[in-house]
Amino acid sequence: MLKKHSLLTCASALCLAASPALAQEDVSVDFSGFASVVFGQTFSDEKEGQVYDIPTDLDLNGFNRLGLRLDADLQHKLSFTTQFIAFGSSDYEPKVDWLNVSYHFTPEISITAGRSRIPFYFFSSVVDVGYAYVWITAPEAVYQTEALRSVDGLTFRYTADMADDWTSDLSLWAGQTKQQLEEVGNRDYTVEDLVGFAWSVNHEWLTLRATYATGLSNFDISGILDVPFTTPDGAPNDLLGANLDPTNEHTISSLRAAFAYLAAQGIDNDFSSVVEDITIKDKRTHWYSFGLMMEFDEVFIISEYSKLLIEDVLSYGNNDAVYATVGFNLPADLTLAFTYSYDNKQGDEAAINAFDKIASAAPQTAQAQTVVGGTKAYLRGFEQGGSSQQNTFNITGRWNFHPQAALKMEYQLQDRRLFTNEMQHPQSLRAAVDIIF
């Protein structure tokens, strides 16, 4: 490591030495960073589930994070920004969060090339900087859309003063994004041909925001569709017992076997079209959000609504979320905030309706009807397995005990209705120290 470090140091020195013009310019380089140390636990019974991803055992590092940022003003209207971030949930393995170059045509107009944060919500640009907002984490109901974290491409920004002391901030972006989703085994989720805009306007204590983005979503299911899962005689195995999960290989393999069985009975069907309905491949996806913020001396109100719509997919295709926060700035650098959030996830019944037409031609034998019933149960499981409704109530206290540090305590209660109509009521407690430097 020492030899490698020395070589890099020498290479850097040679580059600077070979660029006397750079050494003569007044290049400004700023280093900054942030960190959060978070403890949390869901303390309800296991049958009640978790509050989002807060475990039932005390978590001492899963929500910790560290970010380091470099901003370089290269003069002549050019700037460079990069940010590295590491999460405790991934053993603090650093990853590049931002890496971009910006050209500022004027103080109001700029274009950025590279990887940059998508300005989809009020706090998107600082979503990992816990010190920047009142909560321990930004409301998960809205901010858990991880696939829209960063974009690799171009971003155009235009800020302007309007009439009657209104200001405008417009961003347009185009590119693609790729994320690994931890909740489904770190499989790749990509959005190609991504385009969108974010527009916010401000007048004294009022800020309004509207955002829209669209692209082609792809969810990596390699290794799932080709796994055989049949009994020795070729019949579907355990049709009613497998886990109803679109990432579960038994589910899709059993569906393949079921459709092969129906085809052998002389019933025309197209398994590939069903796979298309239950997987996400080149599916047109839309994101919408609207936000309102009101800031007074002692009271502030923040609310955002978001909608995710994936066309022609059976599960996870229609999600709505909203939150509203009322906060109070108290003496002694204390803040108290109350937050309510609601998120609703629904599927699409198109594939089930199509299968009903296929099933109507099935023989009235016991085995055929078992296959038909089991297959429909699977499809229904896909449609409902990602469906849920939940209300979350949140109380957060914050104390700015240092000019660059804040201590926070948070209590959360959820009312969750699963697709089985089962109700869960998990509760959690978290504490955090957020710093900036």
Which residues are within 8 A (CB) of 425 and not within 5 positions of it... i.e. 6 or more apart?
A: 44, 48, 413, 414, 415, 416
Report which of residues 373 and 272 the model is more confident about.
Answer: 373
Residue 418, Cβ neighbours under 10 Å: how many? 15
Residue 268, Cβ neighbours under 10 Å: how many? 8
Exposed / middle / buried, residue 2 (Cβ in 10 Å: 0-12, 13-18, 19+):
exposed
Q: Residue 190 and residue 423: Cα distance in Å, rounded?
A: 33
Exposed / middle / buried, residue 34 (Cβ in 10 Å: 0-12, 13-18, 19+):
buried
Give this prediction's pTM.
Answer: 0.79
pLDDT, averaged across the chain = 81
Provide the pLDDT for residue 209. 98
Give the percent of the chain with pLDDT over 70: 68
Q: How confident is the model at residue 21 (pLDDT cuts 50, 70, 90)?
A: very low
Provide the pLDDT for residue 195. 97
For residue 3, pLDDT over 50 is answered with no
248-282 per-position pLDDT tens digit: 444 556 666 666 766 776 666 565 566 666 667 88
Q: What is the mean pLDDT of residues 342-350?
A: 74
Q: Residue 372 and residue 278: Cα distance in Å, rounded?
A: 17
Q: Residue 245 and residue 256: Cα distance in Å, rounded?
A: 15
Q: Please report, for the chain, the start and end positions of each structural domain, with discontinuous segments joined by +.
A: 26-221+280-347+386-436, 232-278+348-385
275's torsion region: left (phi>0), alpha (psi -120 to 50) or beta?
alpha
Side chain identity, residue 53: D
Provide the pLDDT for residue 53. 86
For residue 398, pLDDT over 70 is answered with yes
Q: What is the mean pLDDT of residues 36-47?
A: 92
Report which of residues 423 and 160 the model is more confident about.
Answer: 160
Report which of residues 126 and 218 the model is more confident about.
Answer: 126
DSSP annotation of 57: S
8 A C-beta contact, residue 293 and residue 278: no
CA dihedral defined by 186, 191, 196, 201, rounded to 10 degrees? 0
Terminal C-alpha separation, the chain: 27
147-196 per-position pLDDT tens digit: 678 899 999 999 999 998 999 999 999 999 987 765 555 677 889 999 99
> Both tokens of residue 67?
């970010």
Q: Residue 230 and residue 221: Cα distance in Å, rounded?
A: 20
Q: How confident is the model at residue 326 (pLDDT cuts 50, 70, 90)?
A: very high
8 A C-beta contact, residue 64 and residue 87: yes
Classify domain 26-221+280-347+386-436 at the CATH class level: mainly beta
Residue 321, Cβ neighbours under 10 Å: how many? 23
Q: How confident is the model at residue 51 (pLDDT cuts 50, 70, 90)?
A: very high
Q: Residue 264 and residue 245: Cα distance in Å, rounded?
A: 26
Q: What is the mean pLDDT of residues 392-412?
A: 98
Provide the pLDDT for residue 389. 84
Q: What is the mean pLDDT of residues 356-381?
A: 64
8 A C-beta contact, residue 257 and residue 235: yes
Which residues are within 8 A (CB) of 24 and not within 5 positions of it... i.e. 6 or more apart?
A: none
Phi, psi angles (nearest 5°) of residue 57: -95, 150
